[in-house]
């Protein structure tokens, strides 16, 4: 796949086929992604790949925590407490596009809850890649992590599978760490659902908009 096509065609997949992804493909994805750049070649990424019963236990534990009324306690704050108006508008538009594609009305709280809970099962993907970083690492290393995560998503497309990067899978990091026997010194950045996309599902048939280059770029000669 052409790299430009891989970038433009990438989308967050929210419905996957009931078809396993081989360990060989998952290894190839990571073997490609490891060539991401990092400051002083620190390569700060640490990865856990979960499938089968391990994946199911993590999903069930997170859903149980949510149903019991426990509040998420992520290792870091993903969003600002209050979006400036421009970003708030984009957030609202994103939600409308998602629920509109599924035909879920704003007042239908039960269906909205059901759709949200699918996050914790990786939307039915057969594999999830959990991304960790040492807690002592600074913002520069987090930039490196972003490039690594993007490499994973692009490499996946090159291997014929799709992904969904999920901050939701990092909302209860202690649950994930306990299941995987990970020390608390490793912070959980996100999970990435990996699988074969179900392109017949309406949730995979919409795209969020992107601003044009001229709207976010200034040129200086």
Q: HSE of 51 in the Cβ direction (CA atoms, 13 Å)?
A: 12
Q: For residue 171, how many other CB atoms are within 10 A of its CB?
A: 23
State the pLDDT at residue 180.
97
Query: Distance of alpha carbon 196 from its chain centroid, rounded?
Result: 15
Distance CA 131, CA 36 (A): 14
State the pLDDT at residue 101.
93
- pTM given for the model: 0.96
State the pLDDT at residue 43.
98
Please identify which residue in the block is written with the tokens 């620190």: 42
State the pLDDT at residue 60.
97
Distance CA 111, CA 104 (A): 7
* 45 dihedral zone (left: phi>0; alpha: psi -120 to 50; beta): beta
Q: Please report, for the chain, the start and end positions of each structural domain, with discontinuous segments joined by +.
A: 3-79+119-206
Distance CA 184, CA 132 (A): 10
Encoded tokens for 99: 């629920």
Distance CA 56, CA 204 (A): 23
98-152: pLDDT as tens digits: 999 999 998 999 999 999 999 999 999 999 999 999 999 999 999 999 999 999 9
Which residues of the chain carry a pLDDT beneath 70?
none
Distance CA 193, CA 51 (A): 10
User: Topology of 3-79+119-206 in CATH?
Assistant: NADH Oxidase (3.40.109)
State the pLDDT at residue 53.
97
Largest CA distance in the chain: 58
């Amino acid at each position: 796949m052409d790299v430009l096509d891989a970038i433009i065609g990438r989308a967050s997949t929210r419905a996957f086929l009931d078809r396993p992804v081989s360990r060989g493909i998952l290894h190839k994805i990571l073997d490609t992604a490891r060539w991401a750049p990092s400051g002083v070649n620190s390569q700060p990424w640490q990865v856990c790949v979960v499938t089968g019963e391990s994946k199911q236990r993590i999903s069930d534990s997170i859903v149980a925590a949510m149903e019991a009324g426990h509040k998420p306690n992520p290792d870091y704050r993903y969003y600002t407490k209050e979006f400036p108006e421009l970003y708030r508008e984009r957030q609202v538009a994103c939600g409308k596009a998602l629920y509109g594609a599924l035909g879920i009305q704003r007042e239908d709280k039960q269906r909205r809850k059901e759709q949200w809970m699918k996050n914790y099962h990786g939307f039915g993907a057969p594999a999830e890649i959990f991304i960790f970083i040492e807690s002592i690492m600074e913002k520069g290393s987090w930039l490196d992590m972003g490039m690594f995560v993007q490499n994973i998503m692009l490499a996946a497309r090159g291997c014929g599978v799709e992904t969904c990067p999920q901050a939701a899978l990092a909302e209860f990091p202690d649950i994930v760490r306990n299941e995987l026997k990970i020390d608390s010194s490793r912070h959980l950045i996100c999970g990435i659902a990996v699988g074969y996309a179900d392109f017949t599902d309406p949730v995979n048939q919409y795209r969020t908009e992107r601003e044009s280059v001229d709207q976010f770029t200034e040129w200086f000669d």
